[in-house]
Amino acid sequence: MAQPPAKAKTVGELSAAAAACQGCDLWQEATQTVFGEGKEGAPMMLVGEQPGDQEDLQGRPFVGPAGRVLEQALDEAGIDRRRVYVTNAVKHFRFTRRGKRRLHEKPNAAQVRACRPWLEAEIEVVKPGLIVLLGATAAQSVMGPAFRVSKQHGEVLESPFGIPVVATVHPSSILRSVDDKSRDAAMSSFIADLMVAAKQA
């Protein structure tokens, strides 16, 4: 299974089919496919990069450290996470082993391309009013390789799906801030972008 079944009408049907996806090599090392979560008809869809270590083990998107930053930012932007559909551009964890640790590795262009039909199918089934692209991988998967989050974050843009999008940073970039001052600035900017999205959704 490398393609979503055309007859899938619900997130549950898509998720069940994606569990067997071998559309790229990532299924071999990952624990499981981590599909999106939320309801059909959710007003807002959030798209991240790929599941991390915790997400891979638990089988749910954004349940690790980046998820906690996301939760806090959504809360401060006045967005109820229960009304949001959360997913990733790539549905398997890509990592390298360092001793017992599994270190995140960015998915390559072929892996992002192989997973795009699943994202397209999710968008088709969920029909969100607005899509928030978290970080460069999600933004480029949807808007093309020339898209730069640093230049166009916080703007309401038209996507190829005919659904407006707002791009912003990935929450894990906030975790990588070098000091408190830059972390606070990055978080404020992230929340401001989410508030733009909240007004539209």
Contacts with ligand URA by CB under 6 A lie at: 48-52, 55, 61-62, 64, 66-67, 88, 172
CB of 110 to ligand URA, least distance (A): 18
CB of 168 within 8 A of CB of 129? Answer: no
Angstrom distance (rounded) from CA 196 to CA 132: 10
DSSP letter for 13, please.
H
Nearer to ligand URA, 87 or 130 (CB): 87
Per-residue buried b or exposed e for 93-127, using 16+ beta carbons within 10 Å of the residue's own CB:
bbbeeeeeebebeebeeebbebbeebbebbbebbe
Nearer to ligand URA, 6 or 112 (CB): 112
Backbone angles phi, psi at 174, to 5 degrees: -70, -35
CB of 21 to ligand URA, least distance (A): 16
Residue number of the CB closest to ligand URA reads 48
Angstrom distance (rounded) from CA 141 to CA 147: 9
Angstrom distance (rounded) from CA 112 to CA 91: 9
Nearer to ligand URA, 7 or 49 (CB): 49
Nearer to ligand URA, 175 or 199 (CB): 175
Nearer to ligand URA, 66 or 191 (CB): 66
**Strand arrangement, sheet containing 84-88:** 84-88, 44-48, 130-134, 164-168, 156-158
CB of 170 to ligand URA, least distance (A): 6
CB of 7 to ligand URA, least distance (A): 27
CB of 144 to ligand URA, least distance (A): 19
